[in-house]
Structure 1
Amino acid sequence: MTKPIRVWVTPPGPNPWKVVLLLEELQVPYEIKSFKFEDVKKKPFIDINPNGRAPAIEDPNTDLVLWETGAIYSYLIDNYDPNRLLSYDTLKEKYHCEQWLAFQISGQGPYYGQAGWFSILHWEKLPSAIERYRNEIRRIMGVLEGWLDGREWLVGDKMTYADLAFVPYNDRLEAMLGCSEDEIWEGFPKVKDWHQRMVSRPSWKKAMDTRAKLMDEQGLTWTGMPKGVNSMAEYEAKMKAEEATNPPE
């Protein structure tokens, strides 16, 4: 019997939900260890991931601790997708899935993340930085749009883990681009249809229900900051004040 995989999660960020979504699709038992963003650089999590970024997993079935979502995705597919529900064992398709996962990790994640930072969290509005990263979002969406022309999925004839990896960041485009939901997809109808096929799945709805509950438990707004805090500068000041009042032992 498969023991549940522990998933360390800071609820606000997109990356933890990449892992939860994949586990849901694979129907692999898991348990969430939810903790606050301000604790990512502290014990016990820093012993799990010395880089201090969520998510990380602990798999009691193999005694493996792993961080970085790309590595986690490859591990889960190799060890928990024997029937190739979300993957392929044929040469071209196998490595094309890896290719698109690498593009998500190196392209979509960092650029979308920076767009979110400068558009929402950064204390100073820098139009040049906002424009740069929003343009990068459009560029990446253009790559996906061109590839999905005549295709339903990124690789082969079924949804794979490569498709799923893009969902959490694409689900936040409205905030990152600072426009309405209709405007997000202008010029990218194939990407829109592809994204909508995935977010309509029960796995994503369950993941987002879980996120909403965990965010509420921590008293956070949708941006990830505490209710009543309006910028990252205020958030950092609040964390420093709390640490000064309650220093770690």
Structure 2
Amino acid sequence: MSMPITLWESVAIIDLTFTQSPEKYKVKQWLHFQMSGQGPYFGQAAWFEKFHPEQISSARDRYKDQIKRVLGVLDKFLQGKQYLVGNKCTIADLSFVTWDMMVPWIFGDEANTIQLEKNYPNYYAWDQRLMQRPAVKKIAEDKQKATSGGH
């Protein structure tokens, strides 16, 4: 007899795109990469670049290098692919969007040194596809309003 459960974590709720192996597990793989790789490293980069009271160049360099590593992993995997799993947009893809939107802000005056389109062309094309989705456009617009005081 199965017991009813309550799911409260958004990714657990949304993670219903694929119900069969191997795609079901590939979505989970990318979600875990986002949670263990992108989120913590991008967050630490933001902290040391923008908020830490001392300028610690070794920490700043380490986390900016980790951002580049994550971008490189995505770029390599996305070669010849439109999306991360099953050739359709899933929560696996969308989970990367909000931190990806922060890369120019994190790098600040050094943002032009990343050269996303040149150095990470597969990642860049994927990111552009995601940013053109209506729901992602709305998130970007809402974020812009919230951070500019226009809310």
Shared fold by TM > 0.5?
yes
Higher helix share: 2
Residue 108 of structure 1: SS of its match in structure 2?
Answer: helix
Aligned: 1:211 with 2:149: no
Taking only the aligned residue pairs, the percentage that are identical comes to 36
Secondary structure in 1 matching 2:22: helix
Name the structure 1 match of 2:105.
175
Which has the higher Rg, Structure 1 or Structure 2?
1
1:202 to 118, 124, 134: 134
Q: Which runs of 5+ in 1 are unaligned?
A: 1-61, 79-86, 219-249
| CA positional deviation for 1:213 | 3.5
Residues 177-229 of structure 1, C-alpha deviations (whole Å, 9 max, x = no match): 332357341410110010011111111121222233344268xxxxxxxxxxx
Q: Across the two proteins, how many residue pairs are aligned to each other?
A: 145
Counterpart in the other structure of 1:100 = 30
Deviating runs (4+, > 6 A) in structure 1? none
Give the number of the structure with larger relative contact order, counting CA–CA contacts within 8 Å between residues 6 or more apart. Answer: 2
Q: Distance in 2 between matches of 1:64 and 1:89?
A: 19
- What is the CA–CA distance in structure 1 between the aligned matches of 2:5 and 2:30, rounded to whole Å? 28
Shift of 1:122: 1.3
3-state secondary structure, aligned to 2:114 = helix
Show the counterpart of 1:193: 125
Task: Choose the corresponding residue for 1:152, options 82, 96, 99.
Answer: 82
| Deviation at residue 94 of structure 1 after TM alignment | 0.6
After superposition, what is the alpha-carbon deviation per residue over 1:90-113, rounded to whole angstroms, capped at 9, x for unaligned? 210010001000000010000000
**Counterparts of residues 110-189 of structure 1 (less than 5 Å):** 110-178=40-108, 179-181=110-112, 183-185=114-116, 186-189=118-121
| Letter aligned with residue 10 of structure 2 | I
Q: Tell whether 2:18 aligns with 1:88.
A: yes
Please say if 1:74 is aligned against 2:12. Answer: yes
TM-score, normalising length: structure 2 = 0.85
Give the structure with the larger strand fraction.
Answer: 1
Contact 1:173 1:184 in 2 (8 A): no
The offset of 1:64, in angstroms, is 4.9
Query: In structure 2, what residue type is equivalent to 1:203?
Result: A
User: 1:174–1:184: 8 Å Cα contact kept in structure 2?
Assistant: no
Taking structure 1 as the reference length, the TM-score comes to 0.53
